[in-house]
Amino acid sequence: MAIISNTVSYLDGETLLEGFFAYDDAIEGQRPAIMINHTWLGRNDFVSEKALKLAELGYFAFAVDMYGKNILGQNKEEGAKLMQPFMDDRGLVLRRMEAALYAIKRMPWVDDTKIAAIGFCFGGLCVLDLARSGADIKGVVSFHGLLEEPGNSQEKKIKAKVLVLHGNDDPMTTIDQVSILQQQLTQAGADWQLHRYGNAMHAFTNPVANDPVFGTVYQANADKRSWVSMQNFLKEIFE
């Protein structure tokens, strides 16, 4: 096994974006691909490391860039500022996701009939929006994702299977948002699952998260269990 990784530039209109990809060159031919969406800080080492782990599992992994090449937040204030335009314009979220989907389909190692997307925090919102748009992909996984309604996906049938991995004590979402999401997924005809992890707050997969006042705390059990749930989900949708 030899994991190959690199960056690739792609465009959304005139905005230059830079994705990070990884794959195992011991595998011959095309393989299923996973898009990985970053937190509000941007495409940093956190999602690059997830890409490497997914490559080790035999997937082509592509860490999406939502903000633009070399644009990263260094703290929660900068992250909030970078994310806000996307929260204000969910059409922008979808355009960036569609640009990434177009880019990944052009990669020679990718079986473009077998694509899924996973996302963390803000990235969870992004992959859910892609599913809500009716995108023809196999599935999406949201890890402690933001669950605000997009307001631009009514009447769309969801083709992708959906797995939502949610911390029960996450202060970034409300009980009503969880309930509304479940109703919307059902009404859109989605094959969906929601896993709730007890004693888990927001960012439960991030080992450096340790701000209980803000509501972002790493939780090792939820991290491990959610990763296993994702692996089982990916095996199912790519059968």
One-letter amino acid of 27: I
Burial class (CB in 10 A: 0-12, 13-18, 19+), 179: exposed
Tokens matching residue 72: 């990263």
In CATH, what number is assigned to the domain containing residue 102? 3.40.50.1820
Residue 1 has pLDDT above 80, yes or no: no
More confident residue, 17 or 150: 17
The pLDDT value given to residue 163: 98
CA proximity to 37, closest of 103, 115, 126:
126
Contact 203, 209 (CB under 8 A): yes
pLDDT of residue 156: 83
Least confident of 6-10, 58-62, 130-134, 154-158: 154-158
The sheet carrying 192-197 orders its strands as 3-12, 15-24, 60-63, 31-37, 110-120, 139-143, 161-167, 192-197
Q: What is the pLDDT of residues 188-197, one digit of tens each?
A: 999 999 999 9
Quote the pLDDT of residue 151.
79
CA-to-CA dists, residue 188 to 130, 135, 158, angstroms: 13, 13, 6
59-79 pLDDT per residue, tens? 999 999 999 999 999 999 999
Average pLDDT rounded to a whole number, residues 215-236: 98
DSSP state of 202: B
Question: Please, what is the average pLDDT of the chain?
Answer: 96
Euclidean distance between CA atoms 93 and 106, whole angstroms:
21
Beta bridge mates, 17: 10
pLDDT digits (tens, 9 = 90+) for 196-221: 999 999 999 999 999 999 999 999 99
| Number of structural domains the chain divides into | 1
Given a contact cutoff of 8 angstroms between Cβ atoms, the answer to whether 55 and 70 are in contact is no
Q: Give the pLDDT score at 153.
A: 59
Q: For 9-64, what is each residue's pLDDT tens digit? A: 999 999 999 999 999 999 999 999 999 999 999 999 999 999 999 999 999 999 99
Residue 92 has pLDDT above 80, yes or no: yes
Q: Which pLDDT score is estimated for 67?
A: 98
Range of the domain at 176: 3-237
Closest residue by Cα to residue 36 from 165, 126, 159: 126
pLDDT at 152: 67
Q: Which amino acid belongs to residue 52?
A: L
**Phi, psi at 186, each rounded to 5°:** -65, -45
Residue 215: what pLDDT?
A: 97
**Predicted local confidence at residue 223, as pLDDT:** 98
